[in-house]
Structure 1
Amino acid sequence: MSLLSLTVQWIDDNFSLRHATLQAKPFRGSHTSKAIADAFDGMLQTWCIPKTSVHVVLRDNARNMIKGMNDAGLPSLPCAAHTLQLVVHEGLLSQRSVADALAIGRKIVGHFKHSPLAYSCLEDIQLEIGQPAKRLQQDVQTRWNSTFYMIQSLIEQKRALGVFVSEHELPDNLTAHQWALLEKVVTVLGPFEELTRKVSSSEAMAADVIPAVTVLQRFLSRETDDDHGIKTMKGTLAAAVRRRFSDVEEQPLYSIATLLDPRYKNLFFSNTNTAANAKEMLMRELLRSSGEEENHDLHEPPARKPRRDQASSSLDSIFDEIADEQAPVSLNRAQCVLCVVS
């Protein structure tokens, strides 16, 4: 059964971020754009939420969802996590050797998933060699990052699987070259997994998207000795990021949010032109909200290095590197911003 849910986020009187799931209803029949628009209209009416109070709807990238939001007259943006995983899907399919290794990995995981006896034997081996008993993870196309977790679980159990295959049959087995290939794939997909978790968090903000894309592009553009065997995949990932996020800096919601976030300011835009355009978007929004007619030449306070509010990650050095490069760049900016929340 298909379900359609309505989850809301808002800022309360204490300026704290709040969220709640208001409704989850069966979604029967064809998932046409009209049916989606009608369903959203019905849920908003049920909760007496006027469309003027809807700042933005986050949706997936399906055409029926895009058109459905347009038909309903609701502003919408694609889910950044879903877009990241579409990029990963493209990359994994682009290199035959990687796709073949993944197919074998799925067969191995599937064998243990469907055979309690085989899993029991693997569990005994894990305990004998001093590893915790742990199941292999099957990837599912609709579950974001699941392929990364499947490869990771296979690599963690490589030693136990080697013992198992010496005593039992498997439907297929990975060669030494394929094991090495999967280890490289995990290294490249690690930042995608990290950023997907970050933008999927209940604490995530629109301001996180542009910096995440900029850092990801920097990471993928670097050539390393470990690229041998996965260059096609890495190149496809880089091209897919550029294409699927090509207009992210032109979206006022993303650009203004990034500019106003003290962690990011104008440091993570791809160039000075897009940063200047973001400033213009912000000033137009300020004038619209305040009703003023004139722009004022207000100057930006001294740039500060973005603070770190999370544990160190594999991408922190790239965030710091970009921030240090862009810190001397100055943009005129409003010193005081009035935020109006519907």
Structure 2
Amino acid sequence: MFLKIHEQIMEKVSKASAVCLTTDCWTSRATCGFMSVTCHFIENYKMESCLLDCFEFTDRHTADNLADNLLRIAREWNITDKIVACVSDNAHNISLAIHKTSWKHLPCFAHTVNLIVRGGLSVIQNTLNKIKAIVEYMHRSTVAAEKLKATQQQMGLPELKLKQGCPTRWNSPFYMLQRFLANKDAIITTLALVNARLETLTQDEWKEMEEACEALRPFEEVTVEISGESYVTASKVILLSRSLQKICTRYLRSGGFRKPIIDMLETMTKDIATRFHKVEFHHLLSEASALDPRFKKRAFSDDHAANEAFQRLKNAAGRVRLSSSAHQTEQQQAAASAASPPPQETQESLVWGDFDEQVAGLVTRTSSSAEAVLEMRSYSEEPLVARSSNPLL
């Protein structure tokens, strides 16, 4: 079965003209290290993903060791010359490892958003610690868990367990708060009945957590949006990062939040500005946005960044056309040589001489670069397609 699937995936990957890799390293509960590499490409205008390797990583997680394994996997799958970029989290060792491979590195957008949220939540950490302690107690104590279930039944609430937060799971603090707030009355009643020796939340803290949940909702939406494998995501990064900053600023101006949540929003707003202040000038992300028919120049707030992206695309299109034209010319010349004898280089047509001279200034001599400019101009002036549509189609 392994050999059969390996052969099928090798065939699929071999047909891809370009690929993007995602990689991650982690340590299991049994303290075993692992590394995985996934390959993403377009096949028949559909997004495809293949897990290339997932193995126990027994060596130290140094940049050199990680780079060696990334290069090994690329060689095994014959994709060394096809890799457009490699996506990873923001850990220094894997970032340095990708740099050592000479591949372009894209920090995972969802992981970056997660870091921003964790930084903001540190402002309200004391209240979060109270919630975590209560949630852990409900998971640890069978008596408390049964009492919570009975209380939920009496109050007509869904019988749902409380969710625990985990720093490495995206959006987990939001889901923990969401579930905790939905069971507020049942939790208060249960803690009173079991006489648990735990710090409980004050009314102000309950209100603050409601506001925190509201403030985190856009971050949860963005993380879910950007985490898909079956649809295009890179072209959304510029727009989504700017959208988060606008929403946080709007929340701060609204005056509808208490002091701790205002501090949290200010922390996240500053972090967004720091991490994404040059995102529109990132070559891969800006070109992806420009080439997405849903966004084009509308993805940019900086005209200079948009113009630079479109100029790079015009240059790239010109190079492709030049290469294609040269290949086509070679084919035409070979065909002409086979079909008829070569013409005399100095001989001019007597029949068409006068006509050719008269229209010489009217004949358009196009170049590959000029055609590329016209094509990009035509593309940029077309109306945008609906945001819900598939840009690959």
Q: TM-score, normalised on structure 1? A: 0.85
- The answer to whether the Cα contact below 8 Å between 1:264 and 1:306 also exists between their aligned partners in 2 is no
The residue type paired with residue 303 of structure 1 is P
Any idea what SS the aligned residue of 1:138 has? coil
How do 1:278-297 and structure 2 match up within 5 A?
278-291=309-322, 292-294=368-370, 296=373
Which is helix-richer, 1 or 2? 2
How do 1:84-233 and structure 2 match up within 5 A?
84-93=113-122, 95=123, 98-170=124-196, 171-202=198-229, 203-222=231-250, 223-229=253-259, 230-233=261-264
Q: Return 5+ residue gaps in structure 2 as ranges.
A: 1-31, 323-367
Question: CA separation in 2, counterparts of 1:46 and 1:68?
Answer: 18
Q: Does 1:301 align with 2:381?
A: yes
Q: Does 1:277 align with 2:304?
A: no
**Among 91, 106, 109, which residue is 1:80 paired with?**
109
The residue type paired with residue 185 of structure 1 is A
Q: 1:152 to 1:204 in 2, by over 3 A?
A: farther
Any idea what SS the aligned residue of 2:306 has? helix
CA RMSD of aligned residues (A): 1.8
Question: CA separation in 2, counterparts of 1:309 and 1:111?
Answer: 46
Q: Which residue of 2 aligns with 1:24?
A: 54
Deviates more, 1:157-166 or 1:104-113: 157-166
Any idea what SS the aligned residue of 1:52 has? coil
The residue type paired with residue 173 of structure 2 is T
Q: Return 5+ residue gaps in structure 1 as ranges.
A: 311-338
Question: CA separation in 2, counterparts of 1:293 and 1:262?
Answer: 22
Q: TM-score, normalised on structure 2? A: 0.74
- The answer to whether the Cα contact below 8 Å between 1:220 and 1:234 also exists between their aligned partners in 2 is yes
The residue type paired with residue 23 of structure 1 is D
Any idea what SS the aligned residue of 2:35 has? strand
The residue type paired with residue 39 of structure 1 is N
Any idea what SS the aligned residue of 2:212 has? helix
- The answer to whether the Cα contact below 8 Å between 2:164 and 2:176 also exists between their aligned partners in 1 is yes
Q: Which residue of 1 aligns with 2:85?
A: 56
Shift of 1:249: 1.2
Question: CA separation in 2, counterparts of 1:249 and 1:27?
Answer: 36
Q: 1:204 to 1:156 in 2, by over 3 A?
A: farther
The residue type paired with residue 170 of structure 2 is W
Structure 1 residues 287-314: Cα deviation after superposition (integer angstroms, max 9, x where no partner): 233334556353432434743359xxxx
Any idea what SS the aligned residue of 1:22 has? strand
- The answer to whether the Cα contact below 8 Å between 1:69 and 1:76 also exists between their aligned partners in 2 is yes
The residue type paired with residue 3 of structure 1 is F
